[in-house]
Amino acid sequence: MRFSGAFRSVSKIPFVVGALLLAACSDERSSFLDPGGPIAAAQRAHLLEVVAWTMIAILPVFILVPLMLWRYRYRNRSAKYTPDWDRSPLLEIVMWGVPFAIVAVLTTLLWKSTHALDPYKPIDGSGQPVNVQVIGLDWKWLFIYPDLGIATVNQFAFPEDSSIGLDITTDTVMQSFIVPALAGQIYAMPGMRTKLHLLADQPGRFLGENVQWSGLRFSEQKFDALAMTRADFDAWVAEVRSNGVALDARTYAELGTPSVGAEIHDKLGTTEMPAGVVWFNQVEPNLFTKVIGRYTDGRPVPPQNQPGAVGYQPQLTEGGSNQ
């Protein structure tokens, strides 16, 4: 799984720069140049390999352009002048051949890395894998742990060194889910399920965000991704179970109303929950599939039932369902 490359050793130099830039950040890690897991580390390694190989084609431009501008400047009468020279078969072979060879090398790297880092593929880890379902809303993320019966808003905790499988959708417009220090992004789209796997080597705090423009306050749609030891994770689950509120039609309708984490925390949260976070302990078992299925069952979803729409006003019927 781990992606090893020929330029690993050379690759250390740019990190000094990267590390300096990132040193100013808080303890929350937010870049794949400062990776917290194997996927982001392999992405960084791949990036550097691409840069190194491409340099073969680019450095001649940086070196030769100034040299030629100087050597063949108009006033330099000692330089040769061949106004009618316009082709050289040998040069032609080099000009086409070298970029072609580089692209051929890069193609094999691309092929291998794209398969190796396919976000749909589980990652090898020593711990028990965890499944999480993610629903994007305006402008917050809902994380459902279907096997544990809990859910959270804007807090994504998981055990270290375990493959975390995410099923992602949105109940509003399109969004894009990313935890940069762990893995890449994948779009969240209404009526569709996308998948992403990530793994953290060690406990840590990582920035997670929506990077797809999805409305006025999308830049506030951030969350904490928390990698924990197994014991800490189990304790966290227990804490959510005991301190959470119920995720039912009423609270879900509240989540569907445009707001950011801090606001939804004020509405639904309790003092036991961290700032900007909501915990749920009773979760409808098939909420995720219902959210997707609502768009694909061939019935219209009028704006009053469409989270994020102008005029969203869910009618809570006696059945208690707005789905």
Partner 1 sequence: MTLDQTGTWLFGRLGLDSLPILPAFENPSTSEFIAAGAALMVIVGAIVTIALITWFGAWKPLWRDWLTSTDHKRIGIMYMVLAIVMLARGVLEGAVMRTQQAFGLHGGFLTPEHFSELFTTHGTIMIFFVAMPLIAGIVNYILPLQLGARDMSFPVMNQISLGLTTTGAALVMVSLVLAQFSNGSWAAYPPYTGLDFNPGPGPDYWIWTIVFSGIGTTLTGINFAVTIYKERAPGMHLFRMPVFCWTVLCTAIIMIFALPPLTVAALMLAADRYMDFHFFTNDLGGNMMNFVNLFWLFGHPEVYLLVIPAYGVFSETVATFSGKRLYGYTTMVYATMAIAVLSFCVWLHHFFTMGQSANVNIAFGVASMAIAVPTGVKVYNWMATMFRGRIRMTVPMIYATGFFFLFVIGGLTGVMLANPTITYQVHNTLFLVAHFHNVIIPGVVFGLLSGYHYWFPKAFGFRLHEGWGRAIALFWIFGFTFTFMPLYVLGFMGMPRRSVAFTDPAYQPMMYVALFGAALIVSGVGSMLIQLWVSVRERERLAVPLGDPWNGRTLEWAMSAPPPEYNFAVVPQVEARDDFADAKATGRAYSEPEAYEDIEMPANTAIGLGICVGTVVLGIALVFYIWWLTILSLALMVVVFVGRTFREPAPRIFPAAEVAAAHRAWLAAVRAATPIGRLDETDDLNRGLARPEHPELMEPAQ
- Interaction with partner 1 in 248-267: which residues (CB under 8 A)? none
The bridge status of strand 140-145 relative to strand 130-137 is antiparallel
CA–CA distance, 240 with 159 (Å, rounded to integer): 15
What is the Cα 276 distance to its own chain's centre? 20
- Lookup: tokens for 304: 């009053």
Region 138-177 residues binding partner 1, contact defined as CB under 8 A: 172-174, 176
Nearer to partner 1, 216 or 316 (CB): 216
Closer residue to partner 1, CB minimum distance, 174 or 253: 174
Q: In this complex, which beta carbon is closest to partner 1, that of residue 183 or of residue 237?
A: 183
For partner 1, give the closer residue by CB, 241 or 294. Answer: 294
Q: How far is the CB of 200 from partner 1 (least distance, A)?
A: 16
Among 7, 11, 51, 230, binds partner 1 (CB under 8 A): 51
Decide: residue 109, CB within 10 A, 0-12 exposed, 13-18 middle, 19+ buried: middle
Minimum CB separation of residue 21 from partner 1 in Å reads 6
Which CB sits closer to partner 1, 14 or 149?
14
Considering the complex, state which of residue 121 and residue 230 has its C-beta at the smaller distance from partner 1: 121
Nearer to partner 1, 127 or 191 (CB): 191
The backbone region for 284, taken as left when phi is positive above 0, alpha when psi lies in -120 to 50, beta otherwise, is: beta
Q: Report the alpha-carbon distance of residue 270 to residue 242 in Å, rounded.
A: 12
Q: How far is the CB of 12 from partner 1 (least distance, A)?
A: 16
Contact at 8 Å (CB) between 290 and 323? Answer: yes
**Using the rule CB under 8 A, which residue among 245, 254, 295, 323 binds partner 1?**
295
In the complex, least distance from residue 149 CB atom to partner 1, rounded to whole angstroms: 27
Structure tokens at 290: 């219902």
Q: Which of 102, 85, 92, 122 is nearest to 50 (CA)?
A: 102
Closest separation in Å from C-beta 229 to partner 1 = 25
Which residues, 9 to 38, sit near partner 1 by CB under 8 A? 18, 21-22, 24-26, 30-33
Q: How far is the CB of 244 from partner 1 (least distance, A)?
A: 27
- Shortest spacing between CB 292 and partner 1, in angstroms: 11
Sheet harboring 155-159: ordered strands across?
155-159, 222-228, 204-210, 175-179, 183-188
Which residues from 61-120 bind partner 1, rule CB under 8 A? 61-62, 64-65, 68-69, 72-75, 77, 79-88, 91-92, 95-96, 98-100, 103, 106-107, 109-111, 113-115, 117-120
Whether a cis peptide bond, with omega within 30° of 0, leads into 139 is yes
Residue 143 and residue 176: Cα distance in Å, rounded? 14
Phi, psi of 270 (to 5 degrees): -125, 175
For 286: left if phi > 0, alpha if psi spans -120 to 50, otherwise beta; the answer is: alpha
Span interacting with partner 1, options 57-65, 127-135, 144-152, 159-167, rule CB under 8 A: 57-65
Q: Which 179-238 positions form the footprint of partner 1 (CB under 8 A)?
A: 180, 183-187, 189-192, 194-195, 207, 209-219, 222
Total residues at interface with partner 1 (CB under 8 A): 106
